[in-house]
């Protein structure tokens, strides 16, 4: 059953691709070259777990070599299979093109359930997987750069870097072989929150266009809007927290493996995370009610629905019950192509994955640049900015004959730190990219949905790259 679900995922990506391709003037052969996966590496390797040897199945798919390195996360899940990784790698290519991150798309998958292993065993698996990638030239700062995805995080990235460095002793750019690393091990501030923060900017941006909100029958702005989130992993948690804290949204429903909770008064995500850490479940969170059927998260009436878990969660079977005005695809591929047709007919606006969740790879790009430059962002300019601002504020004080408090002065004269620059770069990327996608939709009257517009935007850029490279003159 799972198999067919994953097949549907890759098919959905291709169906969406074909739908968008009709709106471009890209020659057929070039379209085919853009669509297919360039390299698919399937591996099986043994790892000794306790007294037993286990054969682990794993993949790395490089979808497009039109730009190098290729880029994309590594997923650890017992559901991983080749078609799923191919679909995810394809999405990475389009994602990078949309946000102008100069990489081709890739994705990795290791077919293991991380819950079944302890940290030492996971380290063994991760290091062995990395060794397989090294052997086939499937990893390197200029070749292919992995990152976290479902089931992996900064810890796994540190193991990958250490393994890579061991085999490439003295390679000056080794740190750029993987992103999403711990901050104190060549990582960058703001990477962990990046995907969720990007989803927040995407929603905020969508809601800033008055005429688009009017068409949906909602007021502009995120303040006071209701939100339901499926999945409290890294992406779902940060989307919820930042939307609440910075955007003033109210999260009224949360769904996780153990069930779905609902509270019209709003659920504080930080408190919910603390509760779950303590109790091992979201069920019973004070002030919330558990829904009888976990899958009914799709039915909760709300302004914004955020699927932040896995693919194919909104499908032909449940799409009719969606009562949201906007769906922000924080996960990759959470809506099947069949479901999308139903949702669009219902007038629901979908902010597509390849734009909405591109914040992760955007900040990965910043991390890669930081590693290649061997210097922290802000190191050169922070003090200069502070000194200039200090001089201006002091002059205003002198000219007006008033003085401001030390704290106020500190705030006004602060030079940009790495985290400020990362957030600024991310915000600008999300704002500009939304505008570009929306423009495609405005210009081409026959395109009625953001996914097709985003795809067209990506396809045109990738085709241009191929032509520029002289591959398709
Ligand atoms: N796994 C993330 C994604 O799906 C991040 C990839 C990256 O940072 O390279 O976009």
Active-site residue identified among 107, 111, 181, 370:
107
pLDDT, tens digit (0-9, with 9 covering 90-100), for 367-407:
999 999 999 999 999 999 999 999 999 999 999 999 999 99
C-alpha to C-alpha distance for 101 and 78, rounded to whole angstroms: 30
Q: Are 267 and 252 in contact (CB under 8 A)?
A: yes
| Predicted local confidence at residue 3, as pLDDT | 41
Ligand 1 centroid to 289 CA: how many Å?
Answer: 34
3-state secondary structure 359-384: HHHHHHHHHHHHHHHCCCCCCCCHHH
In the predicted structure, residue 208 carries a pLDDT above the cut 80: yes
The CATH number of the domain covering residues in 39-185: 3.40.50.10860
C-alpha dihedral, 473 to 105 to 326 to 323, nearest 10°: 120
Is 325 close to ligand 1, i.e. is its CB under 6 Å away? no
Average pLDDT in the 169-189 region?
98
Residue whose CA is at the smallest distance from ligand 1 atom 9: 72
pLDDT of residue 6: 52
Contacts for 205 with CB less than 8 Å, ≥ 6 apart: 430, 431, 434, 435
CATH number for the domain whose boundaries are 194-359: 3.40.50.720
Q: Tell me, what's the pLDDT at 4?
A: 55
Whole-angstrom Cα distance, residue 356 to residue 325? 16
pTM for the complete prediction? 0.96
Q: Write the pLDDT tens digit of every residue in 253-287.
A: 999 999 999 999 999 999 999 999 999 999 999 99
- DSSP string of 293-314, one letter each residue: SGGGGGGS-EEEEEE-S-TT-B
Instruction: Compute the residue count for the chain.
Output: 473
Question: Residues 444-458: what's their mean pLDDT?
Answer: 96
CA of 210 to the centre of ligand 1 (A): 31
Give catalytic status of residue 107 as yes or no: yes
User: Going by C-beta distance under 8 Å and a sequence separation of 6 or more, which residues neighbour residue 73?
Assistant: 88, 107, 108, 146, 147, 148, 149, 150, 152, 180, 360
How high is the pLDDT of residue 93?
A: 98
Residue 23 CA to ligand 1 centre (angstroms): 27
Ligand 1 pocket residue status of 203, Cβ below 6 Å: no
For the cut 90, the answer to whether the pLDDT of residue 72 exceeds it is yes
- CA distances (Å), origin 266, targets 261, 305, 308, 462: 11, 14, 18, 42
For ligand 1, mutation pick of 13, 68, 72, 178 (most atoms within 8 Å of CB): 72
Q: Which residue has the tokens 């493996």?
A: 257
Q: Which residues make up the CATH 3.40.50.720 domain(s) of the chain?
A: 194-359
Contact between residue 416 and residue 378 where contact means Cβ atoms under 8 Å apart:
yes
Which of 60, 73, 110, 235 best tests ligand 1's pocket when mutated (most atoms within 8 Å of CB)?
73
The share of the chain scoring above pLDDT 70, in percent, equals 98
> Mean pLDDT throughout 186-203?
98
Give 8's pLDDT tier (boundaries 50, 70, 90). Answer: confident
According to the model, what pLDDT value does residue 473 have?
63
Tens of pLDDT, residues 320-363: 999 999 999 999 999 999 999 999 999 999 999 999 999 999 99
pLDDT at 2: 43
What does the block give as tokens for 363? 């900040």
Q: Where in the chain is the domain with CATH 3.40.50.10860?
A: 39-185
């Amino acid at each position: 059953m799972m198999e067919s679900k994953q097949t549907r995922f890759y098919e959905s990506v291709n169906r969406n691709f074909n739908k968008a391709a009709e709106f471009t003037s890209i020659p057929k052969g070039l379209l085919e070259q853009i669509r297919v996966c360039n390299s698919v590496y399937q591996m099986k390797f043994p790892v000794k777990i306790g007294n037993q040897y286990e054969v682990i199945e794993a993949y790395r798919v490089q979808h497009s070599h039109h730009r190098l390195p290729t880029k994309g996360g590594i997923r650890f899940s017992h559901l991983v299979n080749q078609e799923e990784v191919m679909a995810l790698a394809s999405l990475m290519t389009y994602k990078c093109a949309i946000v102008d991150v100069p990489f081709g798309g890739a994705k990795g998958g290791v077919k293991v359930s991380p819950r079944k292993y302890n940290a030492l065993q996971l380290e063994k698996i991760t290091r062995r997987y990395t060794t397989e990638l090294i052997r086939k030239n499937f990893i390197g700062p200029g070749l292919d750069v992995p990152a976290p995805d479902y089931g992996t995080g900064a810890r796994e990235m540190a193991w990958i870097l250490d393994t890579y460095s061991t085999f490439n002793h003295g390679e000056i750019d080794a740190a750029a072989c993987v992103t999403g690393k711990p901050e104190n091990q060549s990582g960058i501030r703001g990477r962990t929150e990046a995907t969720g923060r990007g989803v927040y900017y995407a929603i905020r941006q969508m809601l800033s266009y008055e005429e688009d909100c009017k068409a949906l029958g909602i007021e502009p702005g995120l303040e006071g809007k209701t939100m339901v989130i499926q999945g409290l992993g890294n992406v779902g948690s940060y989307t919820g927290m930042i939307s609440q804290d910075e955007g003033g949204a109210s999260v009224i429903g949360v769904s996780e493996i153990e069930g779905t909770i609902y509270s019209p008064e709003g659920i504080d995500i930080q408190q919910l995370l603390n509760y779950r850490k303590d109790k091992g479940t979201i069920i019973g969170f004070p002030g919330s009610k558990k829904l009888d059927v976990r899958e009914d998260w799709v039915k909760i009436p709300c302004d914004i629905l955020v699927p932040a878990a896995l693919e194919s969660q909104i499908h032909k079977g449940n799409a009719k019950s969606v009562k949201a005005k906007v769906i922000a695809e924080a996960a990759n591929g959470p809506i099947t192509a069949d479901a999308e047709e139903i949702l669009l007919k219902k007038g629901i606006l979908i902010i597509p994955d390849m734009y909405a969740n591109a914040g992760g790879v955007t900040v990965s790009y910043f991390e890669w640049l930081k590693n290649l430059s061997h210097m922290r962002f802000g190191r050169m300019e922070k003090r200069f900015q502070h000194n200039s601002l200090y001089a201006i504020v002091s002059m205003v004080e002198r000219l007006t004959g008033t003085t401001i408090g030390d704290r106020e002065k500190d705030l006004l004269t602060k030079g940009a730190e790495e985290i400020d620059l990362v957030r600024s770069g991310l915000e600008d990327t999300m704002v500009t990219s939304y505008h570009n996608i929306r423009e495609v939709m405005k210009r081409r009257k026959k395109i009625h949905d953001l996914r097709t517009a985003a795809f067209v935007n990506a396809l045109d850029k990738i085709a241009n790259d191929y032509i520029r490279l002289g591959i398709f003159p």
